[in-house]
Amino acid sequence: MISAIIQARTGSTRLPNKVFLELSGNPLIGHIVERIRFSVRIDNIILATTINPNDDPLEVWALQNNISVFRGSEEDVLARYFHAAETYGSNIIVRITADDPFKDPIIIDRVIDELVSKSLDFAYNNNPPTFPEGLDTEVFTSEALEKAFHEAKDPFEREHVTQYLYRHPELFSQANISHSQDLSNLRWTIDTQEDFQMASRVYEELYKSGEIFLMDDILALIQRNPGIETINSHVKRSAMYNK
């Protein structure tokens, strides 16, 4: 069972309740789920939110939309992932964050295939990053997740799920997929109002219900309209993988 587990919560210091911000008439979380459903490798989607009562609306939304839901620790996201995967019998897990409106199912499937074909514990496309921020994809086995769950002690590793795997390549066979061109300067995630404005422009131009636009479509759009890229270009990329 290959599961996409979406970590989502309503709390956000810079952009509160961003998971329910509307893009082209639908909430951000809805678009993320819709895009993941275009994957040909993923068997099921699990929304993993927290036990905080503020996240009750996420559970209600998931159930209304026939999406599996799991609620767990707000701080220990690694534990939330482990118990979600265990609950739903996931053998391979695709980690999805709920602030990325442009997740690309073609890229996701490519990373899954890398893990499966080479019998890896962990595959990704962001270490080092060469894809636009927001297209990050991490795929790992349930065995790797269980080992990290039991052995990771650093609070940073508990919060960020995959950091124990990155930090211990001697324990986990892993590989990075790189893009032919370094596009890591592009910011395609939502953490600020400017990020949301950029995403809104792209959706206005490219979104059609029931269809999918991909990375190359966005690249072509910003080549025609370079002003879209500059809306949030001043926002710095996450320094996560330098830690």
What residue ranges do the domains of the chain occupy? 2-242
pLDDT of residue 2: 98
Cα dihedral 16/77/130/113 (nearest 10):
-130
Task: Please give the Cα distance from 173 to 87 (Å, whole number).
Answer: 25
The reply to whether CATH 3.90.550.10 applies to domain 2-242 is: yes
Give the residue from 40, 84, 26 showing the smallest Cα distance to 207.
26
Separation between Cα atoms, residue 32 and residue 76, nearest integer Å: 23
Give me the helix-helix angle, 77-87 and 142-151, nearest 10°.
Answer: 140
Q: Is the pLDDT of residue 241 over 50?
A: no
DSSP state of 38: T
Burial category of 95 from C-beta neighbours within 10 Å (exposed 0-12, middle 13-18, buried 19 and up):
buried
* Per-residue pLDDT tens digits for 184-230: 999 999 999 999 999 999 999 999 999 999 999 999 999 999 999 99
pLDDT at residue 243 in the model? 42
Q: What's the CA gap between 190 and 198, in Å, rounded? A: 9
**Is there a contact between 145 and 81 (Cβ–Cβ < 8 Å)?**
yes
pTM of the model: 0.93
pLDDT at position 81 is 98
pLDDT digits (tens, 9 = 90+) for 10-67: 987 678 889 999 999 999 999 999 999 999 999 999 999 999 999 999 999 999 999 9
